[in-house]
Structure 1
Amino acid sequence: MKRLLALARGIDAITDCFAVLAKWAILAACAISTTNAVIRYSFDISSNAFLEVQWYLFAACVMFGAAQVLRVNEHVRVDIFYGMYPTRAKVLVDLAGLVLFLLPMTLFIAYSSLPVFVRMFVSQEMSSNSGGLIRWPAMLTIPLGLSLVALQGVSEIIKRAGWLMHVHEMDTHYERPLQ
């Protein structure tokens, strides 16, 4: 189990690196949006590329940040009873959700999006907008981001199994990230 927990720490480190990219993508998108607005209103000049690169950066932010949201246990839960469960029940519910829903769906969507990405990459598909950008970088965020979420799901499974086996400590309130 110690090796698996070391693997989980490694996955968490990868997730943290992509979370930094997501943070920079937010900053870059804000800077580009501001610059675009200033240039457009000051000089009456604009480009679709400015708008598209903002969308691409937003895609990077969402897809690269999703795994971090899972890692820090801040994802949305819809079970109204979850908050009343004791910690052990919460861990078991999380394990079931990770194994039965998160992993299958993220892997399926990541796998299904790969052919679209490859087609766009090979053909160097461009946006149909005047001055638009190539599309494959935005499309790459889907399989990559969902693969990161699946990988983080594996880490979360390992940490919760470790807690159930009494070899891994976690925050007693179970509202903070599992470390």
Structure 2
Amino acid sequence: MPDVIKTYVRFVDTFNRRVGLFAMYLIFAMFAILLYSSVSKAFHLPANWTLESAQFTMAAYYMLGGAFAMQTGDHVRMDLFYGTWSVRKRAIFDTVTAVALIVFLGFMLYGGITSTTYAIQFKEKSFTAWAPYMAPIKIVMTFGVLMMLAQAISSLFKDIAELRGRPIA
């Protein structure tokens, strides 16, 4: 594989690993928000922002961690036949599915960009009592889709290199 592709793969893998490791800690932020929500309800304190904040934190958690999960193979895979296949056959199958995933993520990215643009342009707010602006979470989610797209392209390059008999380490 050309050096530019190897550099791309290493950069994307390193970047997604770092962001994914950061995103893992968002679960603690979500727990803290939900704990505060429980305590505030026990003392009859108004906290109408807690549920939606926890939802936003969870969305950031799984969107920013998606590329890392893809990279480490922690995503769901039907392993009924896959585990018994040869390395070459797995690489062929992974190449085909990576192309389908790239197309899907391309549409997701387009939708994310248009939705985020709308949220910024019209200062979109949530339809709840707290009514937070939607742009920040939409930006994070769109960035997460972009990271997954970059990781899918990285995986495609690695699968093609595997098929050529020269894996990218």
Deviations 1:28-48 (A, max 9, x none): 11111112211221x111322
RMSD: 1.6
* Deviates further, 138-147 or 88-97: 138-147
1-structure distance, mates of 2:130, 2:111 = 29
Q: In structure 1, give the amino acid aligned to 2:24.
A: K
Q: In structure 1, give the amino acid aligned to 2:27.
A: I
1-structure distance, mates of 2:86, 2:114 = 43
Deviations 1:38-67 (A, max 9, x none): 1221x1113221111111111101111111
Match of 1:62 in 2: 62
5 Å-filtered alignment, 1:153-164, equals 153-164=152-163
Indicate yes or no: 2:102 matched with 1:103.
yes
Q: In structure 2, give the amino acid aligned to 1:107.
A: G
Check whether the contact 1:124–1:136 (CA below 8 A) recurs between aligned residues: yes
Q: Secondary structure at the match of 2:119?
A: helix
Match of 1:33 in 2: 34
Deviation at 1:160, TM superposition (A): 1.9
Check whether the contact 1:15–1:67 (CA below 8 A) recurs between aligned residues: yes
Q: In structure 1, give the amino acid aligned to 2:53.
A: V
Structure 2 unmatched runs, 5+: none
Match of 1:149 in 2: 148
Q: Secondary structure at the match of 1:80?
A: helix
Deviation at 1:77, TM superposition (A): 1.6
Q: Secondary structure at the match of 1:48?
A: coil
Indicate yes or no: 2:166 matched with 1:167.
yes
1-structure distance, mates of 2:67, 2:5 = 19
2-structure distance, mates of 1:145, 1:66 = 7
Q: In structure 2, give the amino acid aligned to 1:168.
A: P
Match of 1:174 in 2: none
2-structure distance, mates of 1:45, 1:23 = 30
2-structure distance, mates of 1:6, 1:120 = 35
Q: In structure 2, give the amino acid aligned to 1:58.
A: M
Indicate yes or no: 2:43 matched with 1:46.
no
Match of 1:172 in 2: none
Check whether the contact 2:124–2:134 (CA below 8 A) recurs between aligned residues: yes
Deviation at 1:79, TM superposition (A): 5.8
TM-score, normalised relative to structure 2: 0.91
Indicate yes or no: 2:19 matched with 1:18.
yes
1-structure distance, mates of 2:165, 2:88 = 11
Deviations 1:50-100 (A, max 9, x none): 11111111110111111111100121123632122111101110111001x
1-structure distance, mates of 2:128, 2:25 = 26
Q: In structure 1, give the amino acid aligned to 2:66.
A: A
Report the count of equivalent residues: 168
